[in-house]
């Protein structure tokens, strides 16, 4: 099934599974506590003044920590909670990078391969219009030449981009390619990995709290996933789509190709019977993405116009359909 399953999600999943293990251990502790200390139910605990004092203190400190770690995402200005450091994100990225390289050994095209050069050139142009200088990162774009792999692309925190060869047919041209690459770049620019890492302890704490209340692990996981985690992930994917579209337009790529790429993707999905309800997915549905891209086009065109991309158009016209340069 195709999705832009970015590795930051994979990293977060690993991190999340560790947190999940921790929370499960805590839940086991909680169930043991309940079994051997039957004199106090959760409602009794809530009525205990000492417990309530500590709970208020923890909540108060947590609230201050939350408010002082809110910052704006670039381009969209969305306020989000981030406490993780770029060093931690890089550590997660480096660890995943080694793993992905090992998994795809023998399928990665060399850097001098014409396809690698072409994709890297498009990526370079997007990097140049970034509102935050990200050139200090060790950027590398890898093409995974594996026809069996579904069309996909992802970025690792720290600047490693992987593009699977099967998505190149769906990209069809540089503008389509810019749509994919700018989306991946936007994840790094907006530090979505950091945002995910920052939320992981909150999800774990919420899981423990709900388990203490209901004692139902499966139901709580489903609740947290569908009500909190997946909508948050879809919001970040939509943000990456938006930022990506603005950046590719500024880099003089045709924004109209973005929704056309997603139309081609929709056809690919239909051809393979790929369908997943949006509310059960970490990514927005393809139809939603097409609608979003179309609605953002006027703004994207405006950004493109400000970049004076068409200043050499007349030279093309003089050439009667042939490019002079």
Closest CA to 230 of 279, 285, 286: 279
Q: How far is the CB of 186 from Zn ion (least distance, A)?
A: 8
Task: Tell me the window of 53-61, 86-94, 166-174, 234-242 that interacts with Zn ion (CB under 5 A).
Answer: 234-242
Is 4 near Zn ion (CB under 5 A)? Answer: yes
Site for Zn ion in 127-186 (CB under 5 A): none
Q: Select which of 89, 184, 250, 257 is catalytic.
A: 184
Q: Which is nearer to Zn ion, 185 or 253 (CB)?
A: 185
Beta-bridge mates of residue 156: 160
Q: How far is the CB of 249 from Zn ion (least distance, A)?
A: 18
Q: Which is nearer to Zn ion, 241 or 257 (CB)?
A: 241
Q: Which is nearer to Zn ion, 158 or 207 (CB)?
A: 158
Token representation of residue 2: 């195709």
Residue with tokens 């990665």: 108
The answer to whether 192 and 241 have CB atoms below 8 angstroms apart is no
Beta-bridge mates of residue 98: none
184 noted as active-site residue:
yes
DSSP characters over 95-154:
HHHHHHHHHTTTTBPPTTSHHHHHHHHHHHHHHHT-SS--TTS--EEEEE--TTSPS-EE
Is 262 near Zn ion (CB under 5 A)? Answer: no
Q: Number of residues interacting with Zn ion: please give it, by CB under 5 A.
A: 4
Q: How far is the CB of 3 from Zn ion (least distance, A)?
A: 8
Is 6 near Zn ion (CB under 5 A)? Answer: yes
Closest CA to 92 of 6, 10, 187, 200: 10
Alpha-carbon distance values, 38 to 29, 35, 51, 214, 215 (Å)? 14, 6, 17, 16, 15
Beta-bridge mates of residue 214: none
Site for Zn ion in 277-306 (CB under 5 A): none
Q: How far is the CB of 2 from Zn ion (least distance, A)?
A: 12
> Measured between alpha carbons, how far is 166 from 153 in angstroms, rounded to an integer?
10
Token representation of residue 74: 């670039």
Site string for Zn ion, 236-255 (x = CB under 5 A): -x--x---------------
Q: Which is nearer to Zn ion, 174 or 184 (CB)?
A: 184
Site for Zn ion in 38-77 (CB under 5 A): none
Return the residue nearest Zn ion (CB atom): 4
Q: Secondary structure of the chain: what % helix, strand, coil (to 5)?
A: 65, 5, 25
Q: Which is nearer to Zn ion, 4 or 268 (CB)?
A: 4
Task: Tell me the window of 4-12, 38-46, 140-148, 243-251 that interacts with Zn ion (CB under 5 A).
Answer: 4-12
DSSP 282: S
Catalytic residue set: 184
Q: Which residues bind Zn ion (CB under 5 A)?
A: 4, 6, 237, 240
């Amino acid at each position: 099934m195709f999705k832009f399953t970015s590795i930051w999600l994979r990293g977060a999943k690993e991190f999340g599974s560790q947190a999940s293990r921790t929370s499960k251990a805590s839940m086991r502790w909680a169930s043991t506590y309940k079994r051997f200390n039957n004199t106090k139910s959760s409602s009794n605990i809530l009525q205990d003044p000492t417990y309530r004092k500590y709970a208020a203190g923890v909540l108060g400190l947590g609230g201050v920590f939350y408010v002082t770690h809110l910052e704006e995402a670039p381009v969209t200005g969305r306020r989000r909670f981030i406490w993780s450091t770029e060093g931690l994100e890089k550590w997660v990225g480096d660890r995943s990078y080694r793993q992905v390289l090992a998994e795809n050994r023998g399928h990665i095209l060399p850097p001098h391969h014409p396809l690698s050069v072409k994709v890297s050139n498009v990526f370079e142009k997007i990097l140049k219009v970034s509102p935050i200088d990200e050139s200090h990162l060790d950027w590398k774009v890898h093409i995974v030449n594996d026809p069996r792999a579904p069309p996909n692309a992802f970025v690792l925190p720290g600047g490693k981009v992987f593009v699977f060869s099967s998505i190149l047919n769906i990209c069809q041209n540089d503008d389509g390619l810019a749509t994919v690459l700018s989306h991946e770049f936007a994840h790094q620019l907006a530090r979505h990995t950091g945002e995910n890492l920052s939320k992981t302890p909150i999800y774990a704490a919420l899981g423990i709290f709900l388990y203490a209340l209901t004692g139902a692990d499966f139901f709580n996981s489903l609740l947290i996933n569908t009500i909190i985690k997946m909508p948050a992930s879809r919001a970040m994917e939509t943000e990456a789509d938006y930022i990506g579209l603005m950046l590719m337009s500024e880099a003089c790529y045709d924004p109209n190709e973005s929704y056309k790429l997603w139309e081609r993707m929709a056809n690919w999905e239909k051809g393979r019977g790929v369908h997943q309800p949006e509310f059960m997915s970490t990514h927005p549905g393809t139809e939603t993405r097409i609608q979003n891209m179309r609605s953002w086009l006027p703004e994207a065109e405006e950004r493109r116009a400000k970049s004076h991309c068409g200043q050499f158009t007349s030279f093309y016209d003089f050439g009667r359909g042939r490019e002079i340069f």
